DNA sequence: ATTTGTGAAGGGTTTCACAGCG
DNA sequence: CGCTGTGAAACCCTTCACAAAT
């Protein structure tokens, strides 16, 4: 008995959306947005699935968790689907973001125009180095780490992005959590410990490279008998957002 | 019958390593390396699991896929495990890396000291802008995109990192694949189409943010009746490398 | 006594295949 | 007739619980 686990998720609504689906919705949304800008009015599950790099059955299952927004014999209305997916992901709301650590990476993140699709807005940059305070990056002034709590309160920040060195990450994370931030995107190569109810996503370059290395090695090992290299297809394929494809 | 599926993976060895396990091995490796540097000689599954943010049963299952490298009643020898995991991931080999696109992000990647743990080495930087050619970033000279094929051949590059704008990504990817690269790490916000046998991993900032937004929204919606906010625990928790935790 | 390694049970995710609707 | 939406089957991953080893 590790932990009673509270009372699971009794969010109510109409069928909870599986995590695996949530991880793919942003991809669909991006493709759909591009289609909408291209003036396309409707797509079939097969068409959309092809552009998103998934199977059509999976796509339909995914969308079915949001409701019945397609028309049989026709397909999906692009604009309407964009709206429904945005709503499901909570993108109709506004999420102020703070970036902590303005090194090479933080710099890149701060300049990432729009930072993402609409819904997110970088409202504060923070760094521990006093010499950088006052400097402006990507249209935002750098504040000192000491002001973190104040900034979070003032801007009602809901998402913290940690782009500090590994050694500082846990400390920064603790401070974010202490002042009420419940969503953290971590770029530092450490495993963050957080209380229940705080969501942490991590982006870890070296882990991705090591996973690629594993597959490279495996391919090299496979070159034994027959010499069957690349037998066939040129069909689309893509690493799954879930991280576990093939 | 979608495709006969070749003859699955008959890599041989002793039981294939599940993808979910592969995605976690780098985390264990990092923790173990830190322990080794701290002079720790052995760890129990419980100890290591705690530091890696996973359950101890999962950790033992994961390690069991590599072989029986623990001692009952004692635990795992840190150095030996480091070696075995490194070997399983293929990190005993050498992987020359090329980074395409030296904008803000490419810049950050090029400066990422060591780029990762040993095994990987950035051997070339490439950009489409002629004005940047010749410039030096992170100890590497920037070459022109036209020389991509030549560089890949010359350095026997096995991993390509795409840090270009979205519009250029598919084209660059095609060129990498055409000259034999079979592992791609994609930072551009597009779904890349690649032939069978090529591994693509993607790192997508805006997708991660959107997933966080979904959970933020869900938490906000949960504040209804009881008012049960953060009921308990302060135990470690971490976003799963697989991307689907909780 | 302690801790690993693992069958077996339990969930979750993907794929299949087709009924149902436009 | 075409395409969606979905039960059912298959697959993968996690968790449990304990026998086996030191």
pLDDT tens digits, residue range A225-234? 443 443 333 3
Which segments in chain B show pLDDT lower than 50? 1-13, 224-246
pLDDT band at A91 (very low <50, low <70, confident <90, very high): very high
Task: Write the residue in B22, B52, B238 that is nearest to A214 by C-beta.
Answer: B22
For helices A104-111 and B104-111, the axis angle rounded to 10 degrees is 170
Residue A178 has a pLDDT of 98
pLDDT tens column, A18-58 = 999 999 999 999 999 999 999 999 999 999 999 999 999 99
Do the Cβ atoms of A137 and A110 come closer than 8 Å?
yes
Q: Do B108 and A112 touch (CB under 8 A)?
A: no
Identity of the residue in A13, A104, A242 whose CB atom sits nearest the CB atom of B108:
A104
Closest residue in B to A52 (Cα) is: B191
The CATH 3.40.50.720 portion of chain B extends over 95-203
Structure confidence at residue A118 as a pLDDT band (50, 70, 90) = confident
> b/e map of B219-229 (b: 16 or more CB within 10 Å)?
beebeeeeeee
pLDDT for A223 equals 56
- pLDDT of res. A233: 37
Closest by CA position to B31, among listed B92, B76, B95, B96: B76
The percent of residues in chain B predicted with pLDDT above 70, rounded, is: 83
Nearest to A201 by CA among A214, A188, A215, A220: A188
Residue A112 is predicted with a pLDDT of: 83
Contact B189 A89 (CB under 8 A): no
Cβ of A237 within 8 Å of Cβ of B195? The answer is yes
Q: Is the CB of A70 under 7 A from strand D?
A: yes
pLDDT score at A113: 64
pLDDT at residue A229, rounded to an integer: 40
pTM to 2 decimal places: 0.88
Options 3.40.50.300, 1.10.3720.10, 3.30.470.20, 3.40.50.720; CATH for B95-203 is 3.40.50.720
Question: How high is the pLDDT of residue B243?
Answer: 35
- For A198, the closest chain B residue by CA position comes to B237
How close is the nearest chain A Cα to the Cα of B172, in Å? 15
% of chain A with per-residue pLDDT over 90: 78
* pLDDT at residue B118, rounded to an integer: 77
Strands (E) across B87-133 are located at: 95-100, 120-127
Return residue ranges of chain A for CATH 1.10.10.10: 6-89
In CATH, which of 3.30.56.10, 1.10.3720.10, 1.10.10.10, 3.40.50.720 is domain B6-89? Answer: 1.10.10.10
Q: Which residue from A minimizes the CA distance to B116?
A: A206
With 90 as the cut, is the pLDDT of residue A100 above it? yes
Predicted confidence at residue A240, as pLDDT, reads 39
Nearest to A241 among B216, B230, B243 (CB): B243
Inter-chain residue contact A207 with B26, CB threshold 8 Å? yes
């Amino acid at each position: 008995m590790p932990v009673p686990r509270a009372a699971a998720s009794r969010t109510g609504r109409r069928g909870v959306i599986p995590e695996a689906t949530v991880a793919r919705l942003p991809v669909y949304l991006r493709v759909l947005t591009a289609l909408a800008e291209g003036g396309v009015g409707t797509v079939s599950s097969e068409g959309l699935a092809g552009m998103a790099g998934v199977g059509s059955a999976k796509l339909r299952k995914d969308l079915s968790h949001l409701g019945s927004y397609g028309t049989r014999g026709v397909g999906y209305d692009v604009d309407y689907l964009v709206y429904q997916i945005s709503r499901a992901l909570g993108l109709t709301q506004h999420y102020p973001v703070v970036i902590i650590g303005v090194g090479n990476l933080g710099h890149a993140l701060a300049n990432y125009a729009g930072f993402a699709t609409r819904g997110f807005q970088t409202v504060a940059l923070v760094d521990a180095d006093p010499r950088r305070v006052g400097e402006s990056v990507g249209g935002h002034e750098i504040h000192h780490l000491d002001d973190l709590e104040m900034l979070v309160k003032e801007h009602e920040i809901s998402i913290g992005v940690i782009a500090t060195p590994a050694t500082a990450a846990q400390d920064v994370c603790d401070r974010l959590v202490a002042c009420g931030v419940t969503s953290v995107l971590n770029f530092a190569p450490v495993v963050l410990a957080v209380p229940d109810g705080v969501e942490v996503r991590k982006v870890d370059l070296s882990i991705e490279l090591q996973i690629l290395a594993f597959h490279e090695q495996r391919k090299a090992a496979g070159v034994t008998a027959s010499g069957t290299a690349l037998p066939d297809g040129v069909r689309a394929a893509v690493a799954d957002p879930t991280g576990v494809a093939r």
